[in-house]
Amino acid sequence: MSRYRLQPTPAQEQMLLEHCGHARYVWNLAVEQHAHWKPGGKSAPGFAEQCRQLTEARGEFAWLRRGSIVVQQQALKDFAQAMANFFDRTHRRPTWRRRGQGEGFGSSLSRRVTSGACPAMSAR
């Protein structure tokens, strides 16, 4: 995987931080949904259902709609992969993401932008 060092302007940095916040919000909602799942009950929603729910939420909340749907859906895709890794017993169960700790977002081009790649972002 390639790494890119970003040197964003203050306005670009703010936009990237918003994208990270949206990705973190969507990820944490997915963690919450799966935390309420109990064996023998109805299955927790999968990627397709969560994308449908995201579309509904974007229709309801303007602040979420202002963000990139690609970034938000990628957070759901990353979560689905993390759950698959957990069920394959190769990784631990996905947990909450916190602001400023390993934040990032992916894109459909398989590039990953993380706070660790940009000192200006990791200072937050």
75 within domain boundaries: yes
What pLDDT score was predicted for residue 124?
A: 32
* Structure tokens that stand for 54 in this block: 């995201």
Q: How far apart are the first and last CA of the chain?
A: 25
Who wins on pLDDT, 36 or 18? 18
- Give the pLDDT confidence of 94-107 residue by residue, as tens digits: 999 888 776 666 54
58 within domain boundaries: yes
DSSP string, 1-68: ---------HHHHHHHHHHHHHHHHHHHHHHHHHHT--TTSPPPP-HHHHHHHHHHHHHH-HHHHTS-
Q: How far apart are CA 79 and CA 85, in angstroms?
A: 10
2 within domain boundaries: no
51 within domain boundaries: yes
Domains identified in the chain, total number: 1
1 within domain boundaries: no
For 1-14, give one letter per residue: b (16+ CB within 10 A) or e.
eeeeeeeeeeeebe
Q: Summarize the confidence of residues 89-117 as an average pLDDT.
A: 67
- Give the pLDDT confidence of 66-87 residue by residue, as tens digits: 999 999 999 999 999 999 999 8
5 within domain boundaries: no
> pTM, whole model, 2 decimals?
0.75
Element (H, E) at 114: strand 112-114
Residues of the domain holding 14: 10-35+45-122
Provide the 3-class DSSP secondary structure of residue 105: strand
30 within domain boundaries: yes
